C-alpha cells in the first residue's frame, strides 16, 4: 500500500498571501486529519474530514480551512498568511473509526517571510 502523500513538500510565501496544501490518503481511508507542528507549540490538531464533511475542528482561526474531495484527497488553505504560520503541516489518514490508528504523511514545510 502506498503511504500518505503530501504536496508540495516545501513552500515559501510572504505575509498576506494565501496557500493551499494537498494530502492524498492511503487507498481505502476515508478520514484525513491535519496538524500543525511548531517548535513552540508542538503538534496541534487543525481539523478532520470524513466523507467530504468536517467532523472535528481544533482551536485555530478561520483563516485555516480545509475540504475533502470524493476520492478522499484533502486540501487545507491558509489565507492572509502571518509569520507565525510558519510550520510543518502534517496530514494523517485513517479508516475514520473512532480512535483508529492514524498514518502520517511526510509533511509540508511552510515558511512565511
Partner 1 sequence: AQRVTQPEKLLSVFKGAPVELKCNYSYSGSPELFWYVQYSRQRLQLLLRHISRESIKGFTADLNKGETSFHLKKPFAQEEDSAMYYCALAGGTSYGKLTFGQGTILTVHP
Which residues here bind partner 1, judged by CB under 8 A? 3-4, 31-33, 35, 42-45, 48-50, 55-56, 58, 90, 92, 94, 96, 98-99, 101-107
The length of the chain, given as a count of residues: 113
Q: Are 23 and 6 in contact (CB under 8 A)?
A: yes
Minimal distance, residue 98 CB to partner 1, in Å: 5
Minimal distance, residue 99 CB to partner 1, in Å: 4
Nearer to partner 1, 20 or 44 (CB): 44
Nearer to partner 1, 15 or 100 (CB): 100
How many whole angstroms separate alpha carbon 70 and alpha carbon 88? 26
Nearer to partner 1, 21 or 81 (CB): 21
Nearer to partner 1, 81 or 93 (CB): 93
Helices (H) and strands (E) in the chain, counts: 0, 11
**What element of type H or E holds 38?**
strand 31-38
How many whole angstroms separate alpha carbon 66 and alpha carbon 80? 15
Amino acid at each position: 500500500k502506498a503511504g500518505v502523500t503530501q504536496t508540495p513538500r516545501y513552500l515559501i510565501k510572504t505575509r498576506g498571501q494565501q496557500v493551499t496544501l494537498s494530502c492524498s490518503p492511503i487507498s481505502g481511508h476515508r478520514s484525513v486529519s491535519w496538524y500543525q507542528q511548531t517548535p513552540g507549540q508542538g503538534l496541534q490538531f487543525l481539523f478532520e474530514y470524513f466523507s467530504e464533511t468536517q467532523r472535528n475542528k481544533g482551536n485555530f482561526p478561520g483563516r485555516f480551512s480545509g475540504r475533502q474531495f470524493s476520492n478522499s484527497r484533502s486540501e487545507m488553505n491558509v489565507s492572509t498568511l502571518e509569520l507565525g504560520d510558519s510550520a510543518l503541516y502534517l496530514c494523517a489518514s485513517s479508516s475514520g473509526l473512532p480512535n483508529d490508528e492514524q498514518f502520517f504523511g511526510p509533511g509540508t514545510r511552510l515558511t512565511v517571510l
